[in-house]
Amino acid sequence: MAERPTPPWADQMPEGSFISYAPSYEVGKYFDRFATEYYTASDGTKMKYYFFDPTEYGFPKGETYPVLIFFHGKSNALEGDICINYTGAELYATDAYQKTMGGAYILIPIANEYRDEEGRTQGTWAKEYIEPTHELITYVLQEHGADAGLRFLFGNSAGARFVFRIADAHPEAYDVLIPVGTVDISADERLDAFDANGIWLFYAEGKRDEFNHFDRDVVPRMPRLQAMKHCFLFNPEWVYNGDHGISSINVGIEMGQHCLMNAMQSNLMFADGTPMDERLPKGMTGWIADVLKERGSAR
């Protein structure tokens, strides 16, 4: 294997730490659990989506289950089915994660991304997608009889920004927001609307994110976030993989600390069963289960 580039933060790691270059889970193992479908919105926008139905994997029909809706990051739609994993959704379809949550539908809308003549990615989540995507979500959940359950919005990077934007427009339609890797937090008046609608927020952003400036853009907003009725802040000093190593991903630019969704897909648990945050002894699925216990599974 060719020698990997040394991350620019390598000399800042705590003593005894090591660099980890890959997540601890296998990519693509559960893709066959997701059905691939298409939806055309009222404005003519046609979008692909993936859907996981827990009643096809041991959970009884006729019950109310939450819906986990995942939005991918920039350029991920161009990767085909691997996008399922890149959103962070794949492992949430596993038996273990589903058991902890008591069963959950999973919906992954896909943006119509493409590369322009200069090779740059275009067509990522923008305001033009808000209404078509909201229509898609409404349609799919009604078609599958899944519209009664709590709606969780996950988003990775550009998808995390979109979580805020679609909730800004429709705070009455969504129940829990889990944006991962964005500093584009909703304005104070929209946070007020979130509180008025009973929305819970799990805000995940690493302090050393290579693409975002945590101290400049997040720290000033933290008092307002902490003042929300239901807000959990997950802002680790270092982003880790399941092997306890500090995450490094180099694709011409270092982005290991930006890819916090890898840790989220690991359920915020190390492979040896210890939590990445002592406040989350059962990881992300445990936090979801706690929300469902407090709020109930129905909207």
pLDDT, tens digit (0-9, with 9 covering 90-100), for 101-137:
999 999 999 999 999 999 999 999 999 999 999 999 9
Tell me, yes or no, whether 3 lies in a domain: no
pLDDT of residue 1: 45
Tell me, yes or no, whether 17 lies in a domain: no
Q: Which secondary structure element, helix H or strand E, spans residue 48, and what is its range?
A: strand 46-52
Range of the structural domain that residue 156 is part of:
23-114+121-294
pLDDT of residue 178: 98
What token pair was written down for 206?
A: 């690493």
Tell me, yes or no, whether 47 lies in a domain: yes
Rounded to whole angstroms, how far apart are CA atoms 180 and 115? 24
Tell me, yes or no, whether 18 lies in a domain: no
- The count of domains in the chain is 1
Tell me, yes or no, whether 148 lies in a domain: yes
- Asked if residue 3 has pLDDT above 80, the reply is no
Residue 183: CATH number of its domain: 3.40.50.1820
Tell me, yes or no, whether 79 lies in a domain: yes
Rounded to whole angstroms, how far apart are CA atoms 101 and 283? 11
What token pair was written down for 291?
A: 């929300």
Residue 201 φ/ψ, nearest 5 degrees: -125, 125
**pLDDT 10s digits, 244-265:** 999 999 988 999 999 999 999 9
Tell me, yes or no, whether 15 lies in a domain: no
Tell me, yes or no, whether 204 lies in a domain: yes
Q: Which amino acid is at 197?
A: N
pTM value?
Answer: 0.97
**pLDDT 10s digits, 136-176:** 999 999 999 999 999 999 999 999 999 999 999 999 999 99
- Asked if residue 208 has pLDDT above 90, the reply is yes
Residues 70 and 104 sit within 8 Å (Cβ to Cβ): no
